A and B are shown apart, each in its own frame.
Chain A
């Protein structure tokens, strides 16, 4: 295993954490979006309180993935920047509006109308961001992503990445975020002993969970038709993770039903982890299949080793700090309301 493989593992880990932690934060906004007509102020407060202390940190996992790609696999970074021009711009738009709307909503003490405005912006942007990031991921997974050159036509630059699979993964990501978020919010509602909210989020987690399950099967069929190379990778190497994601998914639904909320949250996270790692392992060693692989895109080994050194050193500071943050605001505690 070379340093590029170790770095890929680090990058995939960061991506997984972004998908779970950042995804749950997006999911909270997605719930606001989809229930805009019904959400009570209490529900909203519950959501904002849950993501308040952690969303900034959760967002940084994305930056982390980006800098590793930029530094460790520069050719892949450049290729993705060209190929995913439109979806990344749209995702950026979402990121900008999500972050700023959240803060204006919580710190602006403006009129009711102004707050409603930022609440809506937050909800829409929270939905748009995973939609576009998810479709960008799908475009990579499809194995058909065209890397534009200087002579590529404007039309191909703008729409070349779109395929049936990208549309699917866009919506699939939104669904996953919504499910994660429902499970996490269920856990928080239960912790503060709020009966009505617990019932609400349990119901929502169960219904989205079932939908995500159906979508997942649909996704496998889609991959088999649209991305035969990836499907082959699933058959050769990725299948244990497909099974793991299935088991975790079912497990989390069962635990939601039984109101073992922490277990449900862990299982839901496990399901997402298995999906991402299943994808990564199935397309390994390609970063952007078929042509761009880890070894063709990587920086020289001495650079990668130095990065790994920096990352290890950084982790010594980062991991305890992160643990402190999560324990402080997310551990099981019933006293603080």
Chain B
């Protein structure tokens, strides 16, 4: 009987995890724009108020329409996630809801404020005086930011559980604030919020880079491109520092995740930093990587000779799938490095010519950086989530202990894929239509 039940749990786990990963991966893109686009809208509208230049207003209005579409789809895909926390993982909240629920309650308020002011801002272009209208955009940007903070706080708790004592398998002496301010929350929250601005900046810039490639002298596209790229580039160096901070936190709180990220099979001093490479779980080594001696020890513990724990130090049933985590981590860091290169090039060019690079080559790389920035962010989430396996609450609850026993999860997953495909395609279509609408249309109605 136990054997039978165990087999069933395994059957449930794969579709449930795929379902969660897919819906989360979809939503997170929209969530990024929910955090980042309001900033661009506010800056554009502020330039309009300052200069009276209609072009800035047109830009703000167009972005607000794109925001409306992305926010609406994000709101419903976010609703799906909050239900899924219970539907797919009933025991996660059943056991831990009291500990980790507080940031969700806070997020409820942040999302509420964002929805209220989204309504006011989007439908208020004609009803409100210009300056008042601009101010009603602020709560959108602030609560979008706070939503991200609260939700990622909850996620960080799953990586570094805190704020309770375990007695007979049940949490007691619960301190929700200690749970929120856990060892991982600071780095993880900052990493994600900055990523949201990066994704928004690079994606929007990519869109207008395409426009500039077609019409080099288009003032509208040039401004939009500059503003979006500026948002992204400002945050590139910030993200490098935050990424380093995150890695150090992971080294401290989840050494096994770090070992998987780096393909570190053996515990060693003076551990090398591996660039690329293919971890081979059978031979327990990572091959074909470029190794920088002592690099990993230094990055994790600020000491070239520090000992880094390898996967061999952990029981096999407690280690995540190494290849996926290592590959995802390499993708994220690789794209991050490309961003850094781009930022450095722009800064250099600006110092020399007092202007943005205008070459075709540069614009094309900006086009590429849009999807790449999204890929980097998704890869980062793969590192976080897959790297935490087999735990749903690191060290306390296995994902298999939380999963639902409801039937038909594969069917649900298949249906979800189909539905999200339709909604995804329709979202992109709607955005493209908004972008290609003649300028004059933009100035009428929200």
Query: Which of A's residues lie within 8 Å of B, judged by CB?
Result: 52-54, 56-57, 59-60, 62-64, 66-68, 70-72, 74-75, 77-82, 85, 88-89, 92-93, 95-100, 102-104, 107-110, 118, 148-152, 154, 157-158, 299-300, 302-303, 306-307, 310-311, 314, 317-318, 321-322, 324-325, 328-329, 336
Q: Which residue of B lies closest to A101 (CB)?
A: B426
B288 interface residue per 8 A CB criterion: no
Query: Which of B's residues lie within 8 Å of A, judged by CB?
Result: 5, 65, 68-69, 71-73, 75-80, 82-83, 85-87, 90-91, 93-99, 101-102, 104-109, 111-113, 115-120, 122-124, 127-128, 139, 172, 174-177, 404-408, 412, 415, 419, 423, 426-427, 429-430, 433-434, 437
Q: Which residue of A lies closest to B85 (CB)?
A: A70
Contact yes or no, B76 A100, CB < 8 A: yes
| Least distance between B49 CB and chain A CB atoms (Å) | 20
Cα A307 to Cα B100 in complex, Å, equals 12
Known interface pairs A77-B86, A81-B90. Does A64 touch B112 (Cβ–Cβ under 8 Å)? yes
Contact yes or no, A66 B72, CB < 8 A: no
Contact residues of B: prevailing secondary structure:
helix
Contact yes or no, A110 B174, CB < 8 A: no
Ranked nearest first, the 7 interchain pairs of A and B with the lowest CB-CB distance are A71-B101, A74-B97, A78-B94, A81-B86, A299-B98, A154-B407, A314-B109
Residues on A with beta carbons closer than 8 Å to the beta carbon of B107: 67
Cα A285 to Cα B76 in complex, Å, equals 32
Contacts A/B (CB < 8 Å), 16 sampled: A52-B123, A57-B119, A59-B79, A63-B112, A74-B95, A81-B86, A92-B80, A100-B426, A107-B434, A148-B405, A299-B101, A302-B174, A310-B102, A314-B106, A325-B119, A329-B123
Contact yes or no, A103 B72, CB < 8 A: yes
Contact yes or no, B87 A53, CB < 8 A: no
Name the contact of B87 in the complex, choosing from A52, A81, A118 (C-beta under 8 A).
A81
Name the contact of A307 in the complex, choosing from B79, B105, B127, B415 (C-beta under 8 A).
B105
Name the contact of A95 in the complex, choosing from B76, B139, B433 (C-beta under 8 A).
B76
Name the contact of A109 in the complex, choosing from B91, B94, B405, B437 (C-beta under 8 A).
B437
| Least distance between A56 CB and chain B CB atoms (Å) | 4
Contact yes or no, A71 B119, CB < 8 A: no
Cα A104 to Cα B422 in complex, Å, equals 11
Contact yes or no, B111 A103, CB < 8 A: no
Cα A67 to Cα B90 in complex, Å, equals 14
Cα A311 to Cα B105 in complex, Å, equals 8
Known interface pairs A53-B120, A59-B115, A321-B113. Does A96 touch B104 (Cβ–Cβ under 8 Å)? no
Contact yes or no, B82 A306, CB < 8 A: no
| Least distance between A111 CB and chain B CB atoms (Å) | 11
Q: Which of B78, B405, B415 has the most CB of A within 10 A?
A: B405
Cα A322 to Cα B112 in complex, Å, equals 9
Contact yes or no, B73 A99, CB < 8 A: yes
Contact yes or no, B83 A60, CB < 8 A: no
| Least distance between A152 CB and chain B CB atoms (Å) | 7
Residues on B with beta carbons closer than 8 Å to the beta carbon of A85: 87, 404, 406
Q: Which residue of B lies closest to A106 (CB)?
A: B68
Residues on A with beta carbons closer than 8 Å to the beta carbon of B112: 57, 60, 63-64, 314, 318, 322
Contact yes or no, B5 A310, CB < 8 A: no
| Least distance between B330 CB and chain A CB atoms (Å) | 34
Contact yes or no, B430 A63, CB < 8 A: no
Contact yes or no, A56 B98, CB < 8 A: no
Residues on B with beta carbons closer than 8 Å to the beta carbon of A302: 174-175
Known interface pairs A80-B86, A303-B98. Does A107 touch B75 (Cβ–Cβ under 8 Å)? no
Name the contact of A107 in the complex, choosing from B68, B172, B176, B412 (C-beta under 8 A).
B68
Residues on B with beta carbons closer than 8 Å to the beta carbon of A68: 105, 108
Known interface pairs A53-B119, A321-B113, A325-B116. Does A100 touch B79 (Cβ–Cβ under 8 Å)? no
Contact yes or no, A299 B75, CB < 8 A: no
Cα A176 to Cα B112 in complex, Å, equals 25
Residues on B with beta carbons closer than 8 Å to the beta carbon of A306: 102, 176-177
Name the contact of A321 in the complex, choosing from B108, B111, B117, B419 (C-beta under 8 A).
B117
| Least distance between A301 CB and chain B CB atoms (Å) | 10
Contact yes or no, A56 B75, CB < 8 A: yes
Name the contact of B408 in the complex, choosing from A77, A107, A109, A158 (C-beta under 8 A).
A158
Known interface pairs A71-B102, A74-B98, A150-B5. Does A300 touch B122 (Cβ–Cβ under 8 Å)? no
Cα A67 to Cα B5 in complex, Å, equals 31
Name the contact of A92 in the complex, choosing from B83, B139, B407 (C-beta under 8 A).
B83
Cα A306 to Cα B83 in complex, Å, equals 23
Known interface pairs A67-B82, A99-B75, A329-B123. Does A56 touch B93 (Cβ–Cβ under 8 Å)? no
Known interface pairs A71-B102, A95-B79. Does A299 touch B118 (Cβ–Cβ under 8 Å)? no
Residues on B with beta carbons closer than 8 Å to the beta carbon of A60: 75, 108, 111-112, 115
Residues on A with beta carbons closer than 8 Å to the beta carbon of B437: 109
Contact yes or no, B433 A77, CB < 8 A: no
| Least distance between B421 CB and chain A CB atoms (Å) | 12
Cα A329 to Cα B120 in complex, Å, equals 8
Residues on A with beta carbons closer than 8 Å to the beta carbon of B86: 70, 77-78, 80-81
Name the contact of A77 in the complex, choosing from B93, B124, B419, B426 (C-beta under 8 A).
B93
Contact yes or no, A63 B69, CB < 8 A: no
| Least distance between B12 CB and chain A CB atoms (Å) | 10
Residues on A with beta carbons closer than 8 Å to the beta carbon of B433: 107-110
Contact yes or no, A89 B412, CB < 8 A: yes
Cα A57 to Cα B96 in complex, Å, equals 28
| Least distance between B139 CB and chain A CB atoms (Å) | 7
Residues on B with beta carbons closer than 8 Å to the beta carbon of A151: 5
Cα A82 to Cα B92 in complex, Å, equals 12
Q: Which residue of B lies closest to A325 (CB)?
A: B116
Q: Which residue of A lies closest to B419 (CB)?
A: A96
Residues on A with beta carbons closer than 8 Å to the beta carbon of B76: 95-96, 98-100
Contact yes or no, A66 B82, CB < 8 A: yes
Residues on B with beta carbons closer than 8 Å to the beta carbon of A107: 65, 68-69, 430, 433-434
Contact yes or no, B102 A328, CB < 8 A: no
Q: Which of A59, A68, A100, A317 has the most CB of B within 10 A?
A: A100
Q: Using A107-B430, A303-B98 as known contacts, list a sample of 8 further A-B pairs with CB atoms less than 8 Å apart, ordered by residue number in A.
A: A63-B108, A64-B112, A70-B101, A103-B430, A157-B405, A158-B408, A299-B174, A311-B105
